[in-house]
Amino acid sequence: MVNRRRRRHGEAGSVDRKPLLVGAGVVAVAAGAALTVGLWPSGESGASSGGGSALAPAPSTTPSPSRTYPLSQTPRTIPAVRDHTPARGPGWRPAKGGRVVVGDKDLADEGQLLAKELKLAYGGEGEPRAGDVGLSLTDEDADAESYTLTVKDGQVRISAAAEAGVFYGTRTLKQEVHGNATAPEGVVRDSPAKPQRGFMLDIARKPFSAAWIEDRIRELGDLKYNELGLHFSDDQSFRIASDSHPEVVSEEHLTKAEVRRILALAESRHITVVPEIDSPGHLGAVIAAHPDLQLRNTQGVATRGAIDISEPAAAKIVDELLHEYADLFPGRYWHLGADEYQALTVANPASSYPQLATAAKKAYGSDAGIADLATGWLNDRADAMRGHDRVLRAWNDGFFAGGAVQADDDLQVAYWTGKEIGAREPAEYLRAGRRMLNYNDEYLYYVLGQPNAFVYPDGRRIYEQWTPLVVRGTKPVSKEYDDQILGASFAVWCDLAGSQTQDQVAAGIRMPLRALTQKLWDPRTPASSWADFKGLAEKLG
């Protein structure tokens, strides 16, 4: 796999991103909203235009000296661009003889993809001329995902400090000219509000084809998402081929060759694939091949999906799987799971599972309990993955209050629910200084079959009611924690796997994905009504 990270000024989706810099900017008021222009990769600044649609002024690619053009309107895209400086001119649309050229060989992939999509020639390295699109990298210290798109003099120039930003600029242009429309004259300056914008897919309970996953990657890339989570191990199945433990792999699974193709496509769209091997619960598929590792209570009754974490062999097999898949998945992030360990859901865990209580005291002292042993398990798995230089996250119900052992400080909280035993408000984690990703099961959980009172997410609810601050239920946390909330992820869970086909899932998540990217990209209240937004989505395909 080609190493495409050397010019990105930090990987897209990095938690170390810089805020928009407000320099010699101009503030303009449009449609009742104040827009602030800052310093962007092109180094330009100017007045902004507000809402409106990108109507095609003319098909010409070169200005006419005898014609006066109206001031251009802001392009209509999903997500909406955050700033547009209008200008007078014919705009641009792809035409015969046009090319895509790059100012740096590292942009060849972005250039070739755009040329193919717009049916233009790829001209390699060079300067754009009339009718062309030019892609370039700047030396400015700007956010890796910000970009500037300029339509002027019959050509388009997209510049950014990193490849990811250039790619997002090409996504904007692709939408601007969709359906033979014209990209409006002027300058777009754009950057996301949140650095992590994700979609998670449960392939453990329901097998999804590699082709279907690749189609979602293309869709996610065009919508400027930058993460794809793969939950591939659970009680029902283990869905990716294994060399270290082939005995745990389900009959229907992805081969490593298929995974590598998925990873290559994701990388070309600047999407990081985030794997999850959930432990110490949800390991039923592993336990099926190793029944001696099953957690059992004092009556010998097996506990569904739970591995016996007092057994050293349990840690050994999980770490061997973690190390194997760390070599397969090169991305920066890793999900450790840690939710719903069933030993902690009974009335008296110590009396039901005395072997766990004994192991906890032996490892962490006389005051330690089973929650401490589970926390120690989480920290040990984190240590295993730190050797692979990963940023680690775990579900919020894998973090326990009090106790002799605390989850490591660098573990990010994937907050999905407040329904667990001993549930804690998101603000408790945030007050402790933890960084958080929003998986709010009230808005962002698409659970097949709608069991346990789940309802398929509605794009309109996300668009009109949800913000990244709404982490649990419908109530937002304080704005003071905004920087600690790194982003959000939409999640497809396949509890009742036969309830929908792959195509039905794709159709069901279509509008929620579009609503979510809008709310993660632009922190302002959307300027368009839901009806207009939905209409735009239908128009763009």
Catalytic residue IDs:
340
Beta-ladder partners of 446? 492
- In angstroms, the CA 444 to CA 459 distance is 9
What is the 3-state composition of the chain as percent helix, strand, coil, each rounded to the nearest 5? Answer: 35, 20, 45
Find where tokens 């180094």 sit: 43
Token pair belonging to 112? 């070739």
Find how far residue 341's CA is from the centre of its chain. Answer: 26
Instruction: Say whether 405 sits in a helix, a strand or coil.
Output: coil
Please, where are the H alpha helices in 306-402? 312-328, 349-352, 354-364, 370-386
Q: What is the DSSP letter of 238?
A: B
- In angstroms, the CA 256 to CA 241 distance is 6
Which strand (E) or helix (H) includes residue 160?
strand 155-160
Sign of CA dihedral 410, 414, 415, 417: negative
Q: How many C-beta atoms lie closer than 10 Å to residue 116's C-beta?
A: 11
CA dist list (Å): 153 to 149, 236, 390: 13, 59, 45
Phi, then psi, of 78 in degrees rounded to 5: -125, 115
Using H for helix, E for strand and C for coil, what is the string for 304-322? Answer: EEEECCCCHHHHHHHHHHH
Going by C-alpha positions, the residue among 280, 159, 279, 178 that lies closest to residue 222 is: 178
CA atoms within 13 A on the CB side of 113: 21
Find how far residue 503's CA is from the centre of its chain. Answer: 21
Contact 391, 334 (CB under 8 A): yes
Q: How many C-beta atoms lie closer than 10 Å to residue 287's C-beta?
A: 23
